[in-house]
Structure 1
Amino acid sequence: MKKSKLKAFAVSAAALALIVSAQPAFAASSVSGSAGGAWTSGSSSIGSSSGSGNTSSGSGSAYVSVEVTYRYYYGLATSPRSVIKSNSGYQPGVSVTASAEYLPAQSIDSTAKHVVKVGNATWTDTSSTTP
């Protein structure tokens, strides 16, 4: 009896490992550039129910901002929903996450708009990712 329970447990554990490994991983994309002699970078990522973005600069006096638009389907709906979040400030980097307002969610894409201003120089770029 103990051997059969152990065997059943081993089969269950193997099945669980297969299911977990089949789950989608987070996807990401990145962009880079420069403004006023300082390096700049931005990235976006997407998960099962949220999208994130961040913007960074090598200048300590830069204004940095990021705006994320996360699109997803809710349940069996055929029309996508969007959530927009932003963050900004005079700091080396900022990040923000836009999460689905209704679950279950099926992610479509996540787009981040990046801006870095150093003095009179401005860098803008967009990164986008899908699951």
Structure 2
Amino acid sequence: MAETTTATGAQTISKPEDSVGYLAVLAGLTTGILHLYLIPGALATAGTTGGVLFALNGVGFVGGTVLYLSKYWRKELFLVAALYALASILAMFMVHGWTIDSLLYRNGSIAQWAITSKSAEAILIGCSLYLYSNS
């Protein structure tokens, strides 16, 4: 990873060494920011619980991305990232049903935000497993 150092010389922020790392950052930020953006809609349709869950998920993905770029990242956390993204995908199906329609449609319309966020999470799973096995 390319380093950014402080006045004391300690590495604080690192760039990914691999293009897959950049893809993981893009996927994590995409789904994290999208979850934060969708909090008002979740509050309106699922109440306080839905809003809180969207907020926690958004903060989790953005925070995980920041952690990945920090000096505190460890190889084992790639597995945590993959499991976290998988849990987010499964949670959506648990709430909306276990059919492909629950991913593709909301109230008869294409669920573009669900498709985007779950695609980003699937990409993040693949990137995390690749980075774990190659680091």
Higher strand proportion, which one? 1
Larger Cα Rg: Structure 1 or Structure 2?
A: 1
**TM-score normalised by structure 1 residue count:** 0.28
